[in-house]
Amino acid sequence: MKNVLVTGGVGFIGHHLVDYLLINTDHHVTILDRIDVSSNQNRIYDLLSYQINRDRVTFVWHDLKAEINSGVAKMLNEPSIILHLAAGSHVDRSIDDPLSFVMDNVVGTCNILNYARTLPDLDRIVYFSTDEVFGSADEGQWFDEWDRYNSGNPYSASKAGGEELAVAFHNTYALPVIITHCMNVYGERQHSEKFIPSTVRKVMNDETIQIHCDNRVEEIGSRVYMHAKEVCEALMYIVEQGEVGEKYNIVSDGKNREIDNLEMAQKIADVVGKELIYEKVVDRGSGLGYDIRYGLSGNKLRDLGWKSEESLDDLLCELVKWYMENEKWL
């Protein structure tokens, strides 16, 4: 049994990671979270794995904009693995208030890295980054792990800043850092502002779905989707099999998973069993902070030995039905 610290553990991806750890390992999990606009402690309470294994979970409430002092450190059970998922992660809010994202994603990351330096038996610390650090990708373009940054908004720039700090702490202090980039993640209990749950809600209520396009209202935005359970499986595989000091893109098969927003909305409407009502709108991101398309190469992770055999259509159908039966999360 190991002690694992999950920062942002009551966030969307974070709570799925806690669920994965409780089901698939015997590790003790410490959740560090501040509970903000995107956090929800009820996500954890909703998990059957937590209800059965709550003795293996410790909650610590702390805002990483402040350093981890000795009092807080005593509550964290000297983890041997740190999975750093805590972050501000909303493009709109980063455009309105960029400094808050610098504080959360750069200063907050520096504070967790400084804490990690004090741990005598730290085996791994994973910095969970994003495809957005590479900026918009042209059609058919797939970025490798060490490609240049080209941040399109303050959120992605702040994640790139935290990523560079993680690299620096590995190079300077030999901290056992691994960095991951992930694409669009979906799943149960996602914040209702996100595209899939908001589309489910609007389709059920016969509301109009906005489909973002480029500034000519011609090219529709697209994304590569992975279910949170796939991401968690890949992340823990990287923890066990990945090389310290390296970066890994978490993506199954981008070419087969890429889907434009209109097609995704139509798939959701088909599962709900209602007509899709939509309008095409100009995406502010065609120069104002949004990117039409992202692309990550998954070759490195596949060469390491991991890939998902799951079907996007099957996972999406299962998820939409789950939301229809659990409307409190919409």
Pick the catalytic residue from 33, 104, 131, 258. 131
Q: Active site includes 164?
A: no
Ramachandran region of residue 17, left (φ > 0), alpha (ψ -120 to 50) or beta? alpha
Q: Active site includes 149?
A: no
Beta partners for residue 212, in sequence order: 281
Instruction: Tally Cβ neighbours within 10 Å of residue 1.
Output: 8
Tell me the C-alpha distance between 278 and 262, whole Å: 8
Where b means 16+ CB within 10 Å and e means fewer, 138-177 reads: eeeebbebebebbbbbbbbbbbbbbbbbbbebbeeeebbb
CB of 3 closer than 8 Å to CB of 57: no
Tell me the C-alpha distance between 33 and 61, whole Å: 5
Pick the catalytic residue from 155, 248, 278, 290. 155
In sequence order, which ranges of the chain are alpha helices (DSSP H)?
12-24, 42-45, 48-53, 70-74, 91-96, 98-102, 108-116, 154-173, 195-204, 228-241, 254-257, 261-272, 299-304, 312-325
Pick the catalytic residue from 19, 104, 132, 145. 132
Q: Active site includes 279?
A: no
Please state the separation of Cα 266 from the chain's center in Å.
24
∠ CA 263-143-84, nearest 5°, is 90
Tell me the C-alpha distance between 40 and 13, whole Å: 12
CB of 178 closer than 8 Å to CB of 242: yes
Q: Could you list the active site residues?
A: 131-132, 155
